[in-house]
Chains A and B, each alone.
Chain A
Amino acid sequence: MIYKAILNGCSTNIVAQAEELNGFIGEHLCSEETTGSTILFYSEKEKKDALLRLVPTESVVLVRITRHQSEIILEALKAVEQREMTHLYLFPSGFTGSEMAVRLAFRMNGSSLVQVKQIECSDQHLLAKKTVYANHVLGTFKLMKKPYCISLAKGSAVSQPIAKPDKLIVTEVDMTHLPEDPFIKESTSIPRKPATDLAKAKFLLIGGNGMKNKANTYRLKQIAETIGADFGVSRPVAMSAWAPMHRLIGISGAMARADVCIVAGVSGAAAFYAGIEKSKFIVAINTDAQAPIIKTADIAIIDDYQAVMDELIKIMTI
């Protein structure tokens, strides 16, 4: 099995991409039958040396482009890979990785799957597992046509820092001549606010639909700040715009691994639970004893979350 890890060095989340792929490669692609290398896209020359320290394999093709646009990446990959016999292209989790995996597979006459959690390689096909049915069910799929192009599911691998390699074979390719996508006439990028990375929070307080409105959401956020917790919300809360999207916990948002996670007024749909299931200790506060979150918490309180939190804040701030 020959694989290529694809990294987007134009993105500010390049370290997370590299460490995630490094973790996945360590878990699934480190047998003697596999060989891998990295294709790393970048645009700013001055960042090149720093990016080379983020390569999870022993060799890398460093591809310089004007900017990270879908058509530029796909054209560059086609050019760089035209004489290669790559079996598997591995993209990090996230929107870009999933888009590239599907489009590259289509253009290379291969097969694709996105949000993959695990893989098993064989000569004839690739078996890949991913969640379906809103995270209630794990599906196993057989990818039948090479090259296999997959993107990872968030949290599918424990991120591993990149160790300094004994040697790194670097090939440089200049693709700055590739034209920008003509259908985009004007583009403005608004970087994400430097909000707390909820995936790294140690103490998390999460509010759900039980908060009922924006004012209560704001109130719970203030309680979180007072007791030293980071504040997250479930999808219905973010979709009602009671809290910004970067506070979302669950498959569409952050996948938390908190030491302590208090979940207030959240019913606990499986897609939400995926975002907290790796937390060490989960406390659920809900008026409904039958809510799914009760069975998936370590400790549960059946009561109005607001009344309990009001008391908890008194106890914790004495």
Chain B
Amino acid sequence: MNILVCFKAVPDLDKLIDEDWVIDEELQIDTGFLKPILNSYDEGALEIALALSDASESVGVSVELGALTIAGTRATPILKTLNALRFKRVVRIHSHDDFRFRPMAIASILTQYVLRHAPQEVLLLGRQTSIGENERTHLLLAEMLGWPCITQVTGIEPVDMNHLMVTSQADDGQLQQRIQTPCVLSIGDAPNTYLRVPTLIDRMRYGKRPIEILSSMDFHLADETEALMDLEVLIHERPGILIEGQTPEQKARELYEVHLKERLEKR
């Protein structure tokens, strides 16, 4: 079973201070000085794929894992880590284009990759990136391929070469479904899916394997049906009045007597 995880490296937005949130005339925010990290939902997708591969051995299902990103060279350290984690195929589609709000373009590249370059049975994607918050790429990809899609996936177990057991969150509970491949699976809030760390030996042995590099110029990019018109920084501020005091007891007493007691009695 060929499983491809499509992921993105993103700037760690928690590292930005208030003064960094400046929008320029091109509707860009400078985050170039931040070290790229794995998008959190994509990190979950990568770890779930590795766990699925581990579990597949015991049920006699052969799994070949691939990982793909559309990015510039800044994603290379993450790709090397994925090599060390023994992803069989690690691919970077080279591009410096602004894909923040272009889910149609991303989905069209991925569709062509699957149809032309490397057939897959399962595509795993995080539900959205922290920057674009588009939450549409996986669905558009499924539509373009004519494949079914399950969203908000939190766990995947192998059944046989053509079937998976997929757990996902729904609006009113949880769903557990035995499904037939091919399919697109979008990873939601999946607990305990921080990406494992490769051993030093695996890093040395596999980390330097070549990364497959393609160019986005070789793909047709579908047009978006929506356009970004404006960005406005949201300012969240409250008084933030500090309760002074020498001890936790003094602070807790002032908090209760001055600020909480009356409010809680009114409820």
How many residues of chain A get a CB closer than 8 Å to chain B's CBs? Answer: 93
Known: A143-B225, A308-B251, A311-B253. A183 touches B180 (CB 8 A): yes
Interface of B is mostly: mixed
Q: Are B177 and A235 in contact (CB under 8 A)?
A: no
Are A137 and B240 neighbours in the complex by a CB distance under 8 Å? no
Q: A273 at the A/B interface (Cβ < 8 Å)?
A: yes
Interface residues on B, range: 35 or more
Q: A214 to B227: give the CA distance in the assembly, Å.
A: 44
Cβ of B248 to closest chain A Cβ, rounded Å: 4
Q: Judging by beta carbons under 8 Å apart, are A269 and B14 in contact?
A: yes
Once the chains bind, are B171 and A308 in contact (CB under 8 Å)? no
A181 in the interface, Cβ–Cβ < 8 Å? yes
Secondary structure class of chain A's binding surface, majority of residues = mixed
The answer to the question of A131 belonging to the interface, with a C-beta cut-off of 8 Å to chain B, is yes
Contacts of B251 in A (CB 8 A): 301, 303, 308, 311
Contact B139 A127, beta carbon cutoff 8 Å: no
B218 within 8 A of A: no
Contacting residue for B163 out of A132, A185, A269, CB 8 A:
A185
List, in ascending order, chain A residues with CB within 8 A of B201's CB.
none
Measured between beta carbons, the chain A residues less than 8 angstroms from B252 are: 301, 308-309, 311-312, 314-315
B23, B172, B241: the one contacting A192 at CB < 8 Å is: B172
B residues 212-267 near A (Cβ < 8 Å) are 225-234, 236-243, 248-249, 251-253, 255-256, 259-260, 263-264, 266-267
Chain B residues at the A interface, C-beta cutoff of 8 Å: 13-14, 16, 21, 23, 29, 40, 100-101, 130-136, 139-140, 142-143, 148-149, 151-152, 163, 169-180, 183, 188-194, 225-234, 236-243, 248-249, 251-253, 255-256, 259-260, 263-264, 266-267
Residues of A within 8 A of B (CB): 8, 11-13, 70-71, 94-96, 98-99, 102-103, 105-107, 110-115, 127, 130-145, 181-192, 202-203, 228, 235, 238-241, 245, 248, 252, 259-260, 267, 269-270, 273, 277, 281-284, 294-304, 307-312, 314-316
